[in-house]
Structure formats: structure tokens, C-alpha cells
Amino acid sequence: MHDASTSTPLDIGLLPKPCHSVPGLWFVKTGLSELGFLECEFEIDQETATKWDFFELANGCPTEKKPSPRKPQLSLQLLCLPIAEVQSVYARLTGASADDVATVMSKIKTGWPMSGHLLIEVNPKKSFAKAWLPYELDPETPPELKGYVQEGTNVVRFTQLSGMSDCVFVLYASATKTPEPAFTNLDGYLATMKSAPSSAFPGIRPATVSVMDS
């Protein structure tokens, strides 16, 4: 069984600090050619942890931060892409920015190896570790890592039960917009109108309604 913390990477240029790039590819690793363990490390610095509200530890337990309801949230999706398609797409992105490369790569359809051949663990030695068993890997809903990583060094371990050199494992970071609040009645909508500053409606004066006696 092969045990490696690195594998032959694709020639995809990453920023010196990938965690500063959103959208961005925080790691890109080619699968091993035989069964074994592949570990991918990535760093989250203090600036990134603060900006995107990563959890903190209190007495060894994760403590979630409550972000602003209107603030974009970070999504960290783990993708498994076919290496032939990745190479083909990347060859056509000469001169593209890191953001553009990440966005285009994220559009390639994820396809996990044959069921039963891959186990994924995030920070396996930490109290907030998370594992995805083979039957939990769904191409339509890639694993979301945001709630299981923190400031500092993080590790994603792939336990391969067969060769996967035709796969590229990618950690894709993107910002998600918080949906606008939905109102089920007129009162809810009017309440937000009352709380809006007058500057939100420039040039519009409050209307006065007069009632005339008949």
C-alpha cells in the first residue's frame, strides 16, 4: 500500500496563499496510481479565518461564529474531476486569472470513483474531524468542508482502495450570496420599508393623504 502526502500535481498555477483567493482552488492533487493514502494539506491564515468566519475552538470544541445575515458566506467544496478533461480545459485557459481558472474548473462535472473504493477524512486527528464513507459521495452534492476546517494547517486524507491516477481532487472555494428574506405577509414587507433609511429612496417625499368630509 502506498502512503504519500503528495502526488504528481497538475501544472495549475496557484497563488502563494491560495486561501486568499475566492473563487479559488485551495489545493489540486492527482490521485495515486495504486491503492494507498493520499494526504492534502492546506493552510488557512488569520486574515482568511476572520474574513470568512471560520469557527474557533473553546475547550477543544468548535464554537461557531454568527456571521452577518447579509454577508456572503464561504463554501469549500471537494471535487473529483477526470484528469483528461481538466488538462483539456486548462490548456485553453492560457493567460486566464486564478479566479477564472477556478470558476471554469468548478464547472467540470464531478465523478467519484467506483463505490466502495474511496474514503475521505478531514482533519482525522482533530476533535472536529469529519469522514465521508463511499456511499455518501454524491456527484450532485460535493462534500462541504467549511464546518470542519479552521485557522492553521488542515488535512484531507483520501484512502484509496484502487488506483485513481485518472482523477484530480480539487478543493474549490467560492462565495455564496445570502438570499433576501422572504415575506409571507404585507406586514413583514412594510416593516422593512419603515426601517429603511430615507436615503434609500432619494427624491421621494413622504406622501400626505387628506380625507375630505362629504
C-alpha cell, 125: 486527528
Please give the pLDDT value at position 178: 60
Q: Is 210 a member of any domain? A: no
Q: Is residue 61 included in any domain, yes or no?
A: no
Whether 32 maps to a domain, the answer reads yes
- Domain contains 205: no
Backbone dihedral angles phi then psi of residue 121, each to the nearest 5 degrees: -130, 140
Averaged pLDDT score across all residues of the chain: 80
Place of cell 464561504: 74
Tens digit of each residue's pLDDT (9 = 90 or more) over 173-211: 999 876 555 555 555 545 555 555 554 445 545 444 445
C-alpha span between 113 and 132 (Å, rounded): 13
- Which has more confidence, 71 or 41? 41
| 154 domain residue, yes or no | yes
Structure confidence by residue, pLDDT tens digits, 23-40: 999 999 999 999 999 999
Residues with Cβ within 8 Å of 135's Cβ and at least 6 positions away in sequence, in order, are 115, 116
Has residue 57 got a pLDDT over 70?
no
CATH of the domain at 89: 2.60.120
Q: How many domains does the chain have?
A: 1
By residue range, what is the domain housing residue 129?
2-10+22-51+72-176
